[in-house]
Amino acid sequence: MLGDLYWLQGQPERAAAAYLAGRTEAEQHGKAGEAAHNQALRAFAIALYAPDQATAEIDLAHQLLTGLNLHATTINVRRAELIRDAGSDSVDDQIATLRTELDIAGLTSLTSAIELACAFHQAVLDDHTALHATIARLREQTSDNDHAYFVDIAQFMADLPVDETSGVRWLDSEQDTRSRWRDLVVARQAHLHARR
């Protein structure tokens, strides 16, 4: 739970540490599914701030999933891959494939999480036209107020004004949370620029 709380606040390093603790505890109790779940989320959190390190974490998540039938956890690993690859040409195809898979599998509860990964990718590219379309989809998907804060986070990533507040109460101020999300995007842009 702490990992889920921290990444939403734009603190993926703290989330990754919490997911590691969860994975370790699950391994100590022989709970393979729980260990794989925590590792998938750890890979996602690390992908937000250290894409080069994320590949090893993603590979470990795939290893822990071997022999398990955990479709939602597998989707979370794929989400980690999207975040790791944000800003690259392959991401749009990855997103389209995942949207189709979620529709077929009926895992609509994960759709907004994939759209948020899409928003991160578009914010990294400064593609505001595509981002506005993603925000509109997010708004529709979260109209029942479940995960409505994803819309806020998507706007934070691109440093857009929050046009309709979700009413969420952030652990710190909204401005601190906005700054952390924007910093993750700017850091990724710098990372991609340095690799060119």
Alpha carbon distances (Å) from 184 to 48, 107, 131, 136, 154: 7, 28, 16, 22, 12
Give the DSSP H/E element, type plus range, for residue 77: helix 71-85
Token code pair at residue 2: 């702490």
Residues 117 and 137: beta-carbon distance below 8 Å: no
Looking at every residue in the chain, the average pLDDT score rounds to: 93
pLDDT for position 196: 73
Q: How much of the chain exceeds pLDDT 70, in percent? A: 99
- Give the mean pLDDT of 123-133: 96
Helix axes 174-195, 149-157, angle to 10 degrees: 50
Q: Is the pLDDT of residue 145 over 80?
A: no
pLDDT for position 179: 97
Q: Is the pLDDT of residue 44 over 80?
A: yes
Q: Which of 16, 21, 56, 15 is nearest to 35 (CA)?
A: 21
pLDDT for position 167: 75
d(CA 33, CA 112): 23
Render 9-34 in DSSP notation, one character per residue. Answer: TT-HHHHHHHHHHHHHHHHHTT-HHH
pLDDT tens track for 157-173: 999 988 777 778 888 89
Q: Is the pLDDT of residue 139 over 90?
A: yes
pLDDT for position 193: 92
pLDDT tens track for 74-100: 999 999 999 999 999 999 999 999 999
- Give the mean pLDDT of 169-181: 92
SS (H, E, C) 104-156: HHCCHHHHHHHHHHHHHHHHHHCCHHHHHHHHHHHHHHCCCCCCCHHHHHHHH
What are the structural domain ranges in the chain? 1-85, 88-196
Task: Please give the single-letter amino acid code of residue 41.
Answer: L
pLDDT for position 149: 92
pLDDT tens track for 12-33: 999 999 999 999 999 999 999 9
